[in-house]
Amino acid sequence: MKRELEEALEAAWMVREEGNPARSKMRSICHVELTEEILKELEAEGYITFDDDSVLLTSKGQREARKIVRRHRLGEVLVRYALDVNPEEAEKIGCEMEHFLIPEMEESICILLGHPTHCPHGLPIPPGECCRQSKEVVDKTVVGLLKLKSGDKAKIAYIKPKSHNRLHRLSSFGVNPGTIIEVHQTYPALIIRFENTELAMDKEIAEDIFVWRL
Amino acid sequence: MGIQKQNPATDKSPEHLIVLLGNLNVGKSSIFERLCRGKHGNISFAGAPVVFKASRITGTDFTLMDTPGVHSVFTLSEDESIARDSILNAHPESLLFVGDAKNLSRSLSLLLQFTEYDLPAVLDLNMTDEARQLGISIDVSRLSGILGIPVNSSVAVEGIGLRSLRRVLPDARKPIQGVKLPDKIERFLTEFRKLVSDRDLPGRAIGLQALTLDPGALSFLSKTLDPETHRRVLSLIETTRGQFYHRPEVLLHETYTRAAQRIAEEVQTLSPPKHIPFSEKLGCWSRNLTTGIPIAVLVLALMYLVVGDFGARFLVGLMEDRLFGQIIIPTVASISGKISFPLFQRFMVGEFGLVSVALNLALGVVAPVLFMFFFTFGIIEDSGYLARLSVLFGRLLKKMGLSGKGILPIVMGFSCVTMAILTTRVLETKKERIIATLLLLLGMPCAPLLSVMLVVLAHLNWKAYAVVFGVIFLQMFLAGLAAERLLPGERSTFFMEIPPLRIPRMRSILVKTTQRITHFTAEAIPVFILATFVLFVLNELGFLRFLEYLGKPFLETFLDLPPESIRVVLSTMIRREAGAAMLKELFDRGLFSDVQTVLLLLICTFLVPCVNALVVTYKEHGFKTATWMLLFVTPYALVVGIILNYLFRVFQIRFGG
């Protein structure tokens, strides 16, 4: 979707939140100049309808606007609280993030931040699928694979590309970021299992693999 | 493209060729054996050293070609690229892809990579029985719909699902292009296709492989493209690769893995069983230290009972003493005595007789023990236990400069040192390959030698076993330690897949054992005959006596060995077990004492590798390294012999049984 359209939908969501969906109100909070063409295009795509001076979101428009707002506010929480960026910059970055966060990133950020409910301005963050399922990563930090004990389950976060050949070899077995593994044994060699494949590796290889605990 | 058909049975219709592909341990061989009941032939391609097993699929006019297992189309390993490049060379009509039903997403990831060849394919999901045990059920028709190719399920070892597989083979279809690759790679492929548009190239696969700088693909392109296009392709590859942070091959693997996981999630339902299957528990026990070591000891003890006791005592007693000693040799002696002069009788049944020594040793002593050895080794190999030994002994091997994988050549060495040296190729660094070869040459007793050793040792007491095997392994360990420190080069790392523990199938083990034993007899009997004949001639000419006279002072002073040891050493040089078998002969006649027998047995083990092992060493490591190894091994064996003899004397160790 075009950037201006996303901004306009966001504005429409916000005026709806405030209970005053007037066109003039919407124009004043929108980050881009809200031209008639933009509104026409949104109407043509079936995102909004007009009621006198009010701009109303259709159910399709609500779905889309909700996602945009969610990305914006999650982005703000991330940069403001998790990365400790100053409020003014955080606001700007959040504004940008709504345009480029893809669904996987959005979900990961939400889990990472423990499903935040409100943005730094105190506005509600529309809950996502992950919040409803209350997906939770028990230990929210990435740890080295060697830190795990036998029986632990984990999701691979990244593999340190110390040696390209090694990375290639691991990935050709299906050991990629995102793969969920279980540690079966740590001595004399580390044994991990995913699907029904068991891989044995020594310390030198395992220390390059970083995981999320599950 | 030179396809040389060696077997007339596969000659008729090379255009109906199907290539059998899949991961390691998915049962490709079982499927091959089950589909092709007739005699197997071979296919080889001009310029490639590898020979593929190929045969007519019974009841059809398709020819099936077996290939080694692979992990990925974008591979670094030479072994794996062989299977893949066979597709480029063979121009198959279709692919038969075998997947592991209990590792669906991994199998699909490889299948999706192979779909880039844009060839008609059939997927066979094998080992569905094991998958069912693990609570995995797969919607086969849905999977077939998603992939756009026929999908069959089977339990190949039981022969289940093969008739239906044979039926769907003609329906092989081109898969629906499913995986969208990252934009940069798709753009590269578009550019690439524009450049090579006028060529008939196998789908996108060759472009992707070229992008990963695969040597096979690059050489294929340099052969098929004109210089100008080739140059432009290379520069396109270079600029594209420049745009990646990671190498594109890693990105490719990730993309296929994800796509495969999505499909797998859609078609498979998991309901894990409440009880972990026993085989899995046993698999876990056998690879951790507390339970694994006792299991390893138990396995070795069982192996000794079967090979050492049943094979070396019982079977050899039956074959050598009864069959040869009481029936064949006396019969041949009386016949040859009647029809000819004494020289002929000596040639047949004399001290170095064709029947009394060559055939008797090869068939009466070596073959029965070897059969039992290959049989038990086959069980260990087939059951997946070998990989667990790797895990157990990984740390110990690492001290010797070998990664856990290093156990494979070492254990193979118990079967045949020559073969084992060939398998050192699976090791990753040059240093590791040299260490493994050196250890193998330094005294790994191969199966034929081992079998004769066991026969000889059966006449001595337990201390003889302890000393012989203790010395062999101790010196291997020490040599490994030293080599690890002295040789330059990087330490290698250990990384391997552990196959599931399975009950080995007797039928396939017996087939394999028979093949190995046939191979051995075909190769060894002529050598036994030759060795005996050389000794026979030398003996008749009095040359043997002369050599023994020359060697006598050295042997007596330093090793306390009788001059007859020379014959043993001479036979050893021709074939290792021939020497040991000769030793057994001389020991039986009372020419050697117990201590001398043990000593000579060890010297024979250390002294010289057999001719085959030597040839292979030169081939694998080049002239310089191989000569260097040999120059080290020979004096080393004599020095170890001298030291041992001294120790035996000082401590008055006897081995009399």
* pLDDT tens string B37-89: 877 787 877 656 677 888 888 888 888 998 888 888 887 666 677 777 777 77
Higher pLDDT, B341 or B98: B98
* Ordered DSSP codes for B514-560: HHHHHHHHHHHHHHHHHHHHHHHHHHHTTHHHHHHHHHHHHIIIII-
Q: Which residues of B touch A185 (CB under 8 A)?
A: 284, 287-288, 391
Q: Which residues of B touch A191 (CB under 8 A)?
A: 287, 391, 498
Q: Does B426 touch chain A (CB under 8 A)?
A: no
Which residue in the set A168, A198, A202 is minimally distant from B250, CB to CB? A168
Among all chains, which residue has been given the structure tokens 């396995």? B299
pLDDT above 90: percentage of residues in chain A: 17
Count of CA atoms in the C-beta half-sphere (13 A) of B434: 22
Among all chains, which residue has been given the structure tokens 């046939």? B518
Phi, psi of B278 (to 5 degrees): -60, -40
Q: What is the mean pLDDT of residues B642-650?
A: 89
Q: What is the mean pLDDT of residues A22-38?
A: 86
Q: What's the pLDDT score for residue B8?
A: 38
> What residue in B sits closest to A186 (Cα-Cα)?
B288
> What residue in A sits closest to B249 (Cα-Cα)?
A168
Contact B105 A174 (CB under 8 A): yes
Evaluate if residue A135 carries a pLDDT over 70: no
Output the six-digit token pair for B125: 């999901």
Phi, psi of B618 (to 5 degrees): -65, -40
Q: What's the pLDDT score for residue B553?
A: 87
pLDDT bucket at B166, cuts 50 / 70 / 90: very high
Q: What's the pLDDT score for residue B125?
A: 95
Best mutation target, A198, A203, A207, A208, to test chain B (most B CBs within 10 A): A198
* Ordered DSSP codes for B614-647: HHHHHHHHHHHHHHHHHHHHHHHHHHHHHHHHHH
Q: What is the mean pLDDT of residues B520-529?
A: 78
Among all chains, which residue has been given the structure tokens 């040389």? B4
pLDDT bucket at B10, cuts 50 / 70 / 90: very low
Evaluate if residue A47 carries a pLDDT over 60: yes
Predicted TM-score of the model (pTM): 0.70
Q: Does B403 touch chain A (CB under 8 A)?
A: yes
Evaluate if residue B152 carries a pLDDT over 90: yes
Q: What's the pLDDT score for residue A139?
A: 44
* pLDDT tens string B175-220: 886 788 888 899 999 999 888 876 667 668 888 988 988 888 888 8
Counting one residue from chain A and one from chain B, the pairs whose CB atoms sit within 8 A come to: 114
Report chain B's mean pLDDT, rounded to a whole number.
83
Q: What's the pLDDT score for residue A140?
A: 53
Q: What's the pLDDT score for residue B492?
A: 66
pLDDT bucket at B483, cuts 50 / 70 / 90: confident
Do B96 and B19 meet the contact criterion of CB atoms below 8 Å apart? yes
SS3 B121: strand
Which residue in the set B258, B495, B500 is minimally distant from A205, CB to CB? B495
Q: What's the pLDDT score for residue B574?
A: 66
Q: What is the mean pLDDT of residues B126-141?
A: 90
Contact B394 A184 (CB under 8 A): no
Q: What's the pLDDT score for residue B78?
A: 67
Q: Which residues of A touch B258 (CB under 8 A)?
A: 176, 178
Q: Does B209 touch chain A (CB under 8 A)?
A: no
Nearest to B171 by CA among B191, B187, B149: B149
Q: Which residues of A touch B287 (CB under 8 A)?
A: 185, 191, 200
Q: What's the pLDDT score for residue B12?
A: 37
Evaluate if residue B11 carries a pLDDT over 50: no
pLDDT bucket at B154, cuts 50 / 70 / 90: very high
Best mutation target, A196, A201, A204, A207, to test chain B (most B CBs within 10 A): A196
Between CA B243 and CA B231 the distance in angstroms is 19
Output the six-digit token pair for B538: 């030398």
Q: What's the pLDDT score for residue B9?
A: 38
Q: Which residues of B touch A195 (CB under 8 A)?
A: 102-106
Contact B392 A188 (CB under 8 A): yes
* pLDDT tens string A72-111: 998 888 888 878 888 788 888 888 888 888 877 888 888 8
Contact B257 A179 (CB under 8 A): yes
Among all chains, which residue has been given the structure tokens 């916000």? A14
